[in-house]
């Protein structure tokens, strides 16, 4: 992940909290020694042992923090204001004496008495601190309140100001933007907004707002934003919701007939324009549902070399809306099948004809799948391993097409249709080729692995026919 963040172009990576555990310290150390362009930072309380752990890990900067609000100071660290200020200045001095850059955070700053906040930040600056951080630790600040606080601190503090906003009321990104408007120099963000409780300010939303709306110059290579978001989704198993701004599946998806017609003519009609899917490594999608218009359906069919006349098109749209009204997600394979039936046109010959599927799994066996298929009339057999039987099977299928195409799985969903141990599951698989074209297909079976493979094979065949 650190390598990916470096590729993305983030200025500083806060790699971890070295004192927390030996594993965390080793992780931070390995990142610090990875030869990255990004500055590597370690987190530390205002305690010598914490700071020493960061120094031992080889970081470029130490981010040291202490609670300053009365409620946290009195109920967590049980220190007076004077003691906290002394601890802060000693920590900053200790870090600077060891030749490292220093960031100081007054934790729960937005609930801290303002005069005391100015005093402790001023003391940290005098002690040689390089950056002060203003955390909205429990996410209670309003955007206007954040603007006013940072404006006031900017008049009192000459060193760079950083912000750290939590999302308890959904205001983390707005507060980060207001802080920067008011004079803050940088913002702490996370991929996909991950973080304590409701999370932190999201990198994608903050970066694209600054770049596209404010016209700010940033070091972020925005074309890797979606790639990075999906990597974090995969490693953390925390899914990206479809409607998440910038990186969600629906961020650049259009269904309404009016919207799709406009977007197909000129994407700026129903997209921001100042932010395109290409800018963030995303793709534009036309979604077919009960709001679908003729223009979108015709364009989707033309992409598959299907050209219905007006009467046939009306019949196809009627069937599409009937399916959508039942709450079903319409896949590309569904659309093509409907069109071929209405037009009395045979479906094209599939490139992949699945013959056999065998799967081995267990607590002492690495999940392995073996696939036998005819690929353009040539018999091929391929085995692959995976995290589970479904993963192994899908890898085997995508591998068996070999030189015919470079295809990756874009989307995978599974839902139980019936209850019980013999439940029938519906699987929807989306695949993408090297040109960014995406096709989806579905299958249903009591055998989840077979349903997954069948949907994948259908989707690949449709994509190759395109």
User: Is the residue at 298 inside a domain?
Assistant: yes
* Packing angle of the helix pair 48-57, 22-32 (nearest 10 deg): 40
Contacts of residue 365, defined as CB under 8 A and 6 or more positions apart, other chains included, come to none
Tell me, yes or no, whether 27 and 168 share the same domain. Answer: yes
Domain tally, the chain: 3
User: Is the residue at 248 inside a domain?
Assistant: no
**pLDDT at site 264:** 52
**Full pLDDT tens readout for the chain, 466 residues:** 999 999 999 999 999 999 999 999 999 999 999 999 999 999 999 999 999 999 999 999 999 999 999 999 999 999 999 999 999 999 999 999 999 999 999 999 999 999 999 999 999 999 999 999 999 999 999 999 999 999 999 999 999 999 999 999 999 999 999 999 999 999 999 999 999 999 999 999 999 999 999 999 999 999 999 999 999 998 998 999 989 999 998 888 765 544 444 555 566 665 677 899 999 998 877 666 666 667 778 877 887 778 899 899 888 888 888 877 777 777 777 887 888 888 877 777 788 899 999 999 887 678 999 999 998 888 999 999 988 888 899 889 888 887 767 788 888 888 766 666 666 878 888 888 877 778 888 888 888 888 899 989 988 888 887 6
Tell me, yes or no, whether 64 and 212 share the same domain. Answer: yes
Instruction: Locate the DSSP E strands across 300-376.
Output: 352-362, 365-375
Two structure tokens written together for 17: 């909290």
Distance CA 358, CA 464 (A): 25
Tell me, yes or no, whether 380 and 426 share the same domain. Answer: yes
SS (HEC) of 139-161: CCCCHHHHHHHHHHHHHHCCCCE
Tell me, yes or no, whether 194 and 46 share the same domain. Answer: yes
- pLDDT, tens digit, 9 for 90 and up, residues 56-82: 999 999 999 999 999 999 999 999 999
- pLDDT, tens digit, 9 for 90 and up, residues 117-159: 999 999 999 999 999 999 999 999 999 999 999 999 999 999 9
Q: Which CATH number does the domain housing residue 34 bear?
A: 3.20.20.70
**pLDDT at site 293:** 67
C-alpha pair distances (Å), 107 with each of 20, 64, 302, 371? 18, 10, 58, 56
Two structure tokens written together for 360: 């081995």
User: Is the residue at 128 inside a domain?
Assistant: yes
Q: Which CATH number does the domain housing residue 301 bear?
A: 1.10.238
User: Is the residue at 182 inside a domain?
Assistant: yes
φ/ψ of residue 38, rounded to 5: -65, 145
Q: Is 273 exposed, middle or buried (0-12, 13-18, 19+ CB in 10 A)?
A: exposed
User: Is the residue at 135 inside a domain?
Assistant: yes
User: Is the residue at 245 inside a domain?
Assistant: no
C-alpha pair distances (Å), 96 with each of 17, 88, 205? 19, 12, 34
User: Is the residue at 140 inside a domain?
Assistant: yes
- pTM above threshold 0.85: no
Residue carrying the six token digits 């995969």: 234
Domain that holds residue 419: 352-465
**pLDDT at site 295:** 74
Two structure tokens written together for 272: 């921001």
Tell me, yes or no, whether 9 and 64 share the same domain. Answer: yes
**pLDDT at site 144:** 98
137, 107 contact by CB (below 8 A): yes
Q: Which CATH number does the domain housing residue 439 bear?
A: 3.30.160.270
User: Is the residue at 87 inside a domain?
Assistant: yes
Tell me, yes or no, whether 186 and 313 share the same domain. Answer: no
């Amino acid at each position: 992940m650190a390598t990916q963040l470096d590729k993305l172009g983030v200025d500083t990576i806060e790699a971890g909290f070295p004192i927390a555990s030996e594993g965390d310290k080793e992780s931070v150390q390995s990142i610090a020694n990875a030869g990255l362009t990004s500055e590597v930072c370690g987190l530390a309380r205002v305690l010598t042992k914490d700071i020493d752990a960061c120094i031992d890990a080889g970081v470029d900067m130490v981010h040291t923090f202490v609670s300053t609000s009365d409620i946290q100071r009195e109920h967590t660290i049980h220190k007076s204001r004077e003691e906290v200020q002394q601890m802060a200045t000693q920590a900053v001095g200790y870090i600077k004496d060891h030749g490292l850059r220093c960031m100081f955070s007054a934790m729960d700053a937005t609930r801290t008495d303002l005069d005391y906040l100015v005093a402790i930040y001023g003391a940290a600056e005098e002690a040689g601190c390089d950056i002060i951080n203003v955390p909205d630790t429990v996410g209670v600040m309003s955007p206007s309140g954040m603007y006013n606080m940072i404006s006031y601190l900017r008049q009192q503090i000459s060193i760079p100001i950083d912000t750290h906003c939590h999302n308890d009321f959904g205001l983390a990104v707005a507060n980060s933007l207001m802080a920067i408007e008011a004079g803050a120099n940088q913002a702490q963000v996370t991929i996909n907004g991950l973080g304590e409780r409701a999370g932190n300010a999201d990198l994608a939303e903050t970066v694209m707002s600054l770049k596209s709306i404010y016209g700010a110059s940033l070091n972020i290579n925005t074309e890797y934003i979606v790639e990075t978001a999906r990597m974090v989704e995969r490693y953390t198993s925390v899914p990206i919701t479809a409607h998440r701004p910038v990186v969600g599946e629906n961020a650049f998806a259009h269904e309404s007939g009016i919207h799709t017609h406009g977007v197909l003519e000129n994407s700026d009609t129903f997209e921001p324009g100042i932010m395109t899917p290409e800018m963030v490594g995303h793709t534009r999608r036309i979604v077919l549902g009960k709001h679908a218009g003729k223009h979108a359906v015709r364009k989707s069919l033309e992409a598959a070399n299907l050209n219905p006349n007006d009467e046939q098109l009306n019949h196809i749209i009627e069937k599409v809306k009937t399916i959508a009204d039942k709450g079903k997600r319409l896949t590309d394979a569904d659309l093509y099948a409907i069109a071929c039936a209405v037009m009395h046109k045979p479906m094209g010959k599939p490139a992949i004809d699945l013959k056999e599927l065998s799967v081995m799994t267990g607590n002492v066996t690495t999940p392995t799948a073996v696939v036998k298929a005819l690929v353009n009339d040539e018999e091929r057999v391929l085995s692959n391993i995976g995290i589970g039987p479904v993963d192994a099977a899908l890898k085997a299928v995508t591998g068996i097409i070999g030189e015919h195409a470079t295809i990756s799985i874009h989307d995978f969903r599974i839902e139980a249709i019936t209850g019980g141990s013999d439940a029938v599951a519906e699987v929807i698989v989306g695949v993408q080729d090297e040109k960014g074209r995406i096709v989806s297909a579905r299958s249903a079976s009591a055998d989840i692995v077979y349903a997954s493979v069948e949907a994948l094979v259908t989707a690949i065949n449709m994509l190759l026919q395109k």
